[in-house]
Amino acid sequence: MKFTVVTPKPRNPFAPAAHLRHGGGHRSSTGALRQRSRRELREALGQLDHRKHSP
């Protein structure tokens, strides 16, 4: 009786590296969005003419 051992296909050596880099969607994190909105608000408030808008 003969036994045939079938070895699995070798794995792609580059696939685990891509998985470890946490590649994902190209979108800003929520913290970055919050920081950007605060910066834009500060810039908008800095551009106001205070003499014109003060009571």
pLDDT at 41: 95
- Model-level pTM? 0.47
Q: Compute the distance between CA of residue 20 and CA of residue 37 in angstroms, rounded to an integer.
A: 31
Furthest-apart CA atoms within the chain: distance in Å? 100
Task: Name the CA dihedral angle for 39, 44, 50, 55, rounded to a multiple of 10 degrees.
Answer: -110
Within 8 A by CB and 6+ apart from 28, the residues are 36
Overall residue count recorded for the chain in this entry? 55
Tens-digit pLDDT string for the chain (55 aa): 888 888 888 888 887 776 677 666 788 889 999 999 999 999 999 888 766 666 6
